[in-house]
Structure 1
Amino acid sequence: MIVAARRSPVTTRGRALAALRVEQLAAPVVRAAVADAEAVLGGTVPVADVVLGNCMGPGGNPARVTALAAGLGAEVTGATVDRQCGSGLAAILDATAAIGAGDGRARIAGGVESASTAPVRTLDGMPYDRAPFAPEGWPDPDMLRAADDLAARDGIARPRQDAHAARSHRRARAAHDAGRFTAELVPLGGVTADDAVGRAEPLLPRLVPTLPGGSVTAGTATRISDGAAAVVLLPARAVGSARGLAVRGHAVVGCDPALPGIGAAPAVRAALDRAGADTRDIAAFEIVEAFAAQSLAVLDRLGLAEDDPRVCADGGALALGHPWGASGAVAVVRLFSRLVRGGAPAGTLGVAAASVGGGMGVAALLEVVG
């Protein structure tokens, strides 16, 4: 059961949080989440492990480095998960599985990405942008090309993409102005808010496609970002009457590597099927918006309207930004704020999901308890 959930501001690569390494982003968020859990439970929360998603960091097990930097003690271990854009959510599910297997100690789980300080990778002395998502003989498009291909395949025209991105910005701006992000945010280095909310909306119609002949623009693709998110998980029996989110179902699925953007859709379907639920039962969806075309393709496959108020009600990654390894965990923090902090009654259901490079999807069904 998730009893506390926090995140850092999400800022564009090279901007406000560019000087912070992964552990400097994550450690304050971990400390804040633990402090929240201790306040809720009325006592010390002994932590067994820290499990964090991370895609492009320095190596050296950033989760363990974060555990030490957060002051949790040398006895608290760490494990780093790489499931690309789904890493933060996958880390939460790994921690859930450990507790479900009988280890009743608390876990910290989430994700962190410092795109600004990510090391340059080299092969035979030559730098490269990313490792392969698939081996030779399989399609291996980068995510921008894959989003353009998906838009063409599904007939998702440029105006529809622009409208979806504009909606995300409007919703995020309204949430920011209403203070709905305040309780989940951990200020870092004087940065107290996400840095790009609303900025791209007026420019959307004027932006040119990023790839020749394509339809995806800089405004309908999320910004590469820095950020961290963390939750505290405990067995339900250890939290008494405290409110939180319980994981009721989850799934990781594979799909065509040529169209990785659709992965969230079958993952959501599988998670719901395993729990005996349906999209009509869900009060809140948080689906990582890496690209407007990708988000729309997932919603279409799930039979959800693109303006469904349940989906990213306070804006998504198109407005907030996309710190790769953290984004899946940011989605869970957002669900926690919308449902638990928002006072939703026990039994209310929410879904967090992400599509993943290489052709995968990850999803979790969560229920308000307490």
Structure 2
Amino acid sequence: MDSPAAPDGHRVDGSTPVIIAARRTPIATKGGRLSNTPVDVLAAAVLRAVVTDVETVFAETRADDGADDGPATIDVADVVLGNCMGPGGNTARVASLAAGLGIRVPGITIDRQCGSGLAAVTVAADALVAAAARGDDRVRIAGGAESASTAPARITGGASYARAAFAPTGFPDPEMEPAAEALATSHGIARDRQDAYAARSHDLAVSAVERGAFDAELVTIDGFDADDGPRRSISTMLHRFPPLHGGTVTAGNSCRISDGAAAVAIVPERARGGAPGLAILQTATIGCDPATPGIGPVDAVRSVLAAGGVGLDDIAAFEIVEAFAAQTLAVLDELGLASAEHVDDRVCADGGALALGHPWGASGAVGLVRLFSRLVRAGAPAGTLGIATVAVGGGMGIAALVEVVR
């Protein structure tokens, strides 16, 4: 479908957080081409890239204004990164130092599981607004990083375990595959529909690679400059995958556990110097039943729409982390973005996690990087709106509403 007409850009004021740079590493399958790259090294690569991008864009805007005083330097106020399964030790601070940001730049690492990367951006944006009220317009960098390949084993009582509890005793705490299967059952999402959605993700991502849609957002790391996915022939293979739990969810219509990192640079609107970007208008994080964590984005998306005073028809681009086809389709069905016959063209238009992979702590930030490419880099007019959203283990959903500024 055609993108909706851009609404008037009247929602942005001088202290509104604006993303003016957005980068990600390639996404690699666990045990694959980034399996020897620690999480702080992944993060440092994107931190360096966004700092360089900001310096470049500020230098260009000064040149456009007739100034010629050499390369721009930026003052970074803080680095906020999401991470789920890393070694501890404050990954954001370690990565900040490794990236050469200087000893005075602090860092904080947060864990909201699969929503960590997007949550880090919302935390940084909120801090930026508070600082801007005091006249502090410094850049903040936020995002997420995950190295499933190098994540340490967790041990308690002498025994290792795969993950920490997402809910206490007395609450449901399903593994993610059974939780996706439960949504497939409750929402009547058949195996063939899940496979078709997975094929859609791969096909769109293949097309995006062919036309260079990812090129400007990717950071080369360890000689690796392309995603492991997508798989060109996946549509001919999906029927061969056996069910994971005797139902309809398979490895083929589920995401791959992955390594990767993503980051964005945020400044107040009044400090962007004419640089194009994505204004962060609204964010929401809302809990849901821990038994069905995958449905969490529904209320989060509805919340940012209501707070922003806009409807689904006003949104030009949606990015949802495609952990499972069943889970994603359940969310899209409830939002009215999919039916048994069709998925709205605005959803993950260049493919998503089903094709590229899901580096848990980074994926929410990857969604914002993708919106930056789909809207800002692609030349969408000022006022164009986008939404990024993620389902979170333990029963939560997180979403952000953004608007193009030029």
Do Structure 1 and Structure 2 share a fold, with TM-score over 0.5?
yes
Q: How does 1:252-331 map to 2 (within 5 A)?
A: 252-305=285-338, 306-331=342-367
Tell me the equivalent position of 1:64.
93
Matched to 1:295, the amino acid is T
Q: Which has the larger radius of gyration?
A: 2
Find the counterpart in structure 1 of residue 120 from structure 2: 91
Q: How many pairs align?
A: 369
Question: What is the DSSP-based 3-state SS (H/G/I as helix, E as strand, rest coil) of the residue aligned with 1:220?
Answer: coil
Runs of 4 or more consecutive aligned structure 1 residues displaced over 2 Å after TM superposition: 199-202
| SS state at 2:149 partner | helix
| Distance in 2 (alpha carbons) for counterparts of 1:201 and 1:185 | 26
Work out whether residues 201 and 219 of structure 1, in 8 Å CA contact, stay in contact via their aligned partners in 2: no
What pairs up with 1:1-370 in 2 under 5 angstroms? Answer: 1-42=18-59, 43-102=72-131, 103-198=136-231, 200-211=234-245, 213-305=246-338, 306-370=342-406
CA distance in 2 between partners of 1:143 and 1:368 (Å): 34
- Secondary structure, in 3 states, of the residue corresponding to 1:37? helix
The offset of 1:307, in angstroms, is 2.0
Q: Structure 2: any 5+ residue segments left out of the alignment?
A: 1-17, 60-71
Structure 1 residue 190 displacement after superposition: 1.2
Distance 2:279 2:223 in 1: 33
Secondary structure of the corresponding residue to residue 113 of structure 1? strand
Give CA-to-partner distance per residue, 1:273-303, whole Å, 9 cap, x none: 1111111100000000000001000001111
> What's the TM-score once normalised by structure 2's chain length?
0.90
The Cα of 1:342 is off from its aligned counterpart by 0.3
C-alpha distance in structure 1 between counterparts of 2:236 and 2:124, whole Å: 41
Q: What's the CA shift for 1:240?
A: 2.1
SS at match of 1:266: helix
Instruction: Please give the alpha-carbon distance, in whole angstroms, between the structure 2 residues aligned to 1:249 and 1:48.
Output: 22
Q: CA deviation at 1:198?
A: 1.6
CA distance in 1, matches of 2:170, 2:275: 51
8 Å Cα contact 1:113/1:228 also seen in 2: yes
Between the aligned residues of both structures, percent identity stands at 63
Q: Matches of 1:115 and 1:173 in 2, distance apart?
A: 24
* Structure 2 counterpart of 1:23, one-letter code: D
State the match for 2:5 in structure 1.
Answer: none
Q: Residue type matched to 1:137 in 2?
A: G
Q: Secondary structure at the match of 1:168?
A: helix
Could you tell me how far 1:166 is from its partner in structure 2?
0.2
Distance 2:175 2:73 in 1: 45
- RMSD value, Cα: 0.8
Question: Any idea what SS the aligned residue of 2:319 has?
Answer: strand
Task: Tell me which residue corresponds to 2:64.
Answer: none
Cα drift, residue 104 of structure 1: 2.0
Q: Deviations over 1:185-239 (max 9, x none)?
A: 001111111112125433111111011x221000111000000000000111111
TM-score, structure 1 as length reference: 0.99
Tell me by how many angstroms 1:150 deviates.
1.0
Task: Note the residue ranges of structure 1 that are not aligned, 5 or more in a row.
Answer: none
Give secondary structure in 2 for the equivalent of 1:310: coil
Secondary structure of the residue aligned to 1:324 is: coil
Counterpart Cα distance in 2 of 1:325 and 1:28: 16
1:44, 1:339 → 2: CA distance? 26
Counterpart CA distance in 1 for 2:220 and 2:144 is 17
Deviation at 1:153, TM superposition (A): 1.1
Give the letter aligned to residue 21 of structure 1.
Answer: P
Is the 1:51–1:109 contact (alpha carbons within 8 Å) kept by the matching residues of 2? yes
What whole-Å deviation, never above 9, does each CA across 1:156-211 have from its counterpart, x for those lacking one? 11000000000000000000011000000001111111112125433111111011
Q: Structure 1 CA distance, aligned partners of 2:224 and 2:322? A: 23
